[in-house]
Structure 1
Amino acid sequence: MKTTWPELSYAEAHKTYETIHLWTQIVGKIRLVKTPWINHSWHVTLYVTPSGLTTSDIVAGDKHFQLDFDFINHQLQLKTSTGDTSSIDLKKLSVAGCYKQVLDALREAGIQADIYPVPNELEDPIPFHKDETHATYKPEHAVALHQAFLRVHDIFTRFRAEFSGKSSPVHFFWGSFDLAVSRFSGRDAPRHPGGVPNLPDWIAQEAYSKEVCSCGFWPGSEAYPTAAFYSYIYPEPEGYKDARIKPAQAYYHPELREFILPYDAVQEADDPDSVLLDFLRSTYEAAADLARWDRKALEQENFDNQRKANRSAYKQVDKDA
């Protein structure tokens, strides 16, 4: 059955996206300062939920807490292991207001979180506590973006299941505002040059310390003002940019050094899921083959047919009984 993917327009929704991006940076930085460092900065990411995005469980002394963006009820919610709850209305909320209210809510629950109050990975950022500029939140744009995240999360999860080597979760990076999943060869990579705006070079160097093939989705930015999927490998092997990739709408972006598939090519397709899987699989296969990854050792058998056969066997046993 064909899944329905929402229409996205960066031109119409970019102010809402920019505000949500900065809100997620505040919440993500709270997770950052409260969580032990995990390789490739996987300890800072957020996760897609049926209603939005979550930090998942965070430890603060004897107390556990979680922060959730709810794009159905349009709230930022705090929950703790001792039963404390609070919510912040996202409508008409500036970045400065979000910064103050979420830290106040944590303090009222007995949780202290001292974060660096400047956004990362952005040019000329405004400190959170001074940012009354970004305060646009149109619920319909947030709802559509969340529905897209849900669809993408499903396909990325299916794609992740085909790999038995080291792989990241499907997770949301609040610095770059993208949903991503990464596969690793297990080999060391050359030292990354760094240079990401407002991000210490050592963080990028640690993140790219191993050979990696990553794919992701972002809703657009000033540099690339349209929603799109991407796929790249680091380090990039010779011939990668000339690889034949599916579907026909995909292309190699020389400045970004990655393959791009416009979101509209998926959203408008007769079978959006298959089109996106074609892109993910073909870019990975080109990358892994050209970089000479040990695909036989790294790729996972598809157990779906075996699982279906087992279910049929159980049904037969029940029938015979």
Structure 2
Amino acid sequence: MKAKWPILDYSAYKDTTYLLHQWSQMVGKVRLRKSPWQNHSWHVALYLDAQGMTTGPIPYEGGIFEIKFDFTQHELKVRSSNGTRDRFSLGNQTVASFYEQLREKLDFIGIKVKITKTPNEIPDAIPFDQNTKRIPYLPNEAKNIWKALIQIHNVMTVFRSKFRGKNSPIHFFWGSFDLAYTRFSGATAPEFEGEVPNLAKEVMQEAYSHEVFSVGFWPGGEQFPQAVFYAYCYPNHPDFKNKKVQPEEAYWSDDLGEFILPYEAVQKAANPTKKLLDFLESTYKAATEVGSWDRNQLDCDFSSLEKKNSNITI
């Protein structure tokens, strides 16, 4: 039996999302400090796994370590390849107490790292160690967000399989707090001139150094209080917003400069996978048309290799 897509009500989980956004920034900043720089800042992202969300292996002094949000047990887990591990509960934590606990656990397993205490991509951000606001962490809401991310990740994995050009992993960016996937045309792009709170201009310019089409999922925020899927291209061609995309619930947001599809429209659909794939594929088609991408060189179809009766032996 296929798992149902969970209902996401921003009013119910906004406090939990606030905490996870702050906490994931600390964890992500540790990965940032200890990992070699990769193009488009791919070295900072987090990844979904069977228990929650993880940094994946981070190199350190001849070994590796990992930090994981476990949304089955609602714990943060830290472990290293030398066999040392520790954990602490996500319940009853403030942003400041999480910061101190994370520092203590990293010290315990022998990881020396210093991170910038100011959150990124958040206006009027409070330094982690000064944010003592008491906000409830709701385990069921955290699990629902994670379960939704799993469903979305699985659909994006199908979409990703149809492209042979340069493309990103399906990864979670803790700054913007979204699950994202990006395709590249191969062409360079005009220098990015936008501004993002508490984020170096050089970082954004490198991230958008080449022409891209990006899709993703955002659980919502104070300025846009609902869970949505998005699709945009850079540079943002003037004709992009005038393209007709699917499904019918999708629309162009002038405020955000991208196409939007409410999560609720997918969650309630008879076939959520098809509904979301329609959005991903139609917005990609629109971006390639306005940007004149060479789809003959970039697209691929491996369906013949997936047929059950294939004679290919691996």
Range into which the TM-score falls when normalised by the shorter chain: over 0.9
C-alpha distance in structure 1 between counterparts of 2:120 and 2:248, whole Å? 35
Aligned partners of 2:305 and 2:312 also within 8 Å: no
C-alpha distance in structure 1 between counterparts of 2:100 and 2:2, whole Å? 43
Q: 1:2 to 1:75 in 2, by over 3 A?
A: closer
The CA deviation at 1:94 is 1.0
C-alpha distance in structure 2 between counterparts of 1:200 and 1:295, whole Å? 33
The answer to whether the aligner puts 1:305 opposite 2:297 as a matched pair is no
SS at match of 1:182: strand
The CA deviation at 1:309 is 4.8
Percent identical pairs in the alignment equals 45
Question: Partner residue of 2:85?
Answer: 85
The CA deviation at 1:160 is 0.8
Question: Partner residue of 1:16?
Answer: 16
The answer to whether the aligner puts 1:58 opposite 2:67 as a matched pair is no
Where structure 1 has 5 or more consecutive residues not aligned to the other structure, the ranges are 316-321
The CA deviation at 1:63 is 2.9
C-alpha distance in structure 2 between counterparts of 1:307 and 1:287, whole Å? 28
Aligned partners of 1:18 and 1:134 also within 8 Å: no
What is the Cα-based RMSD across aligned positions, in Å? 1.4
C-alpha distance in structure 1 between counterparts of 2:155 and 2:88, whole Å? 31
Question: Partner residue of 1:129?
Answer: 129
C-alpha distance in structure 2 between counterparts of 1:67 and 1:2, whole Å? 30
C-alpha distance in structure 2 between counterparts of 1:134 and 1:83, whole Å? 34
Q: Which amino acid aligns with 1:185?
A: S
What is the TM-score normalised by the length of structure 1?
Answer: 0.95
Aligned partners of 1:19 and 1:134 also within 8 Å: no
Where structure 2 has 5 or more consecutive residues not aligned to the other structure, the ranges are none
The CA deviation at 1:306 is 3.2
Q: Which amino acid aligns with 1:234?
A: Y
Question: Partner residue of 2:117?
Answer: 117
After superposition, the C-alpha distances for 1:74-116 in whole angstroms (9 at most, x for unaligned) are: 0000111011111110011111111111111111111101000
The CA deviation at 1:2 is 5.8
Question: Partner residue of 2:148?
Answer: 148
The CA deviation at 1:3 is 4.8
Q: Which amino acid aligns with 1:207?
A: A
Question: Partner residue of 1:176?
Answer: 176
The CA deviation at 1:8 is 0.2
What is the TM-score normalised by the length of structure 2?
Answer: 0.97
Q: Which runs of 4+ in 1 moved over 3 A?
A: none
Q: 1:2 to 1:82 in 2, by over 3 A?
A: closer
After superposition, the C-alpha distances for 1:181-235 in whole angstroms (9 at most, x for unaligned) are: 0000010000111311111111111100000000000100111100000000000
SS at match of 1:117: coil
The CA deviation at 1:255 is 1.2
Question: Partner residue of 2:251?
Answer: 251
SS at match of 1:151: helix
The CA deviation at 1:305 is 3.5
Question: Partner residue of 2:203?
Answer: 203
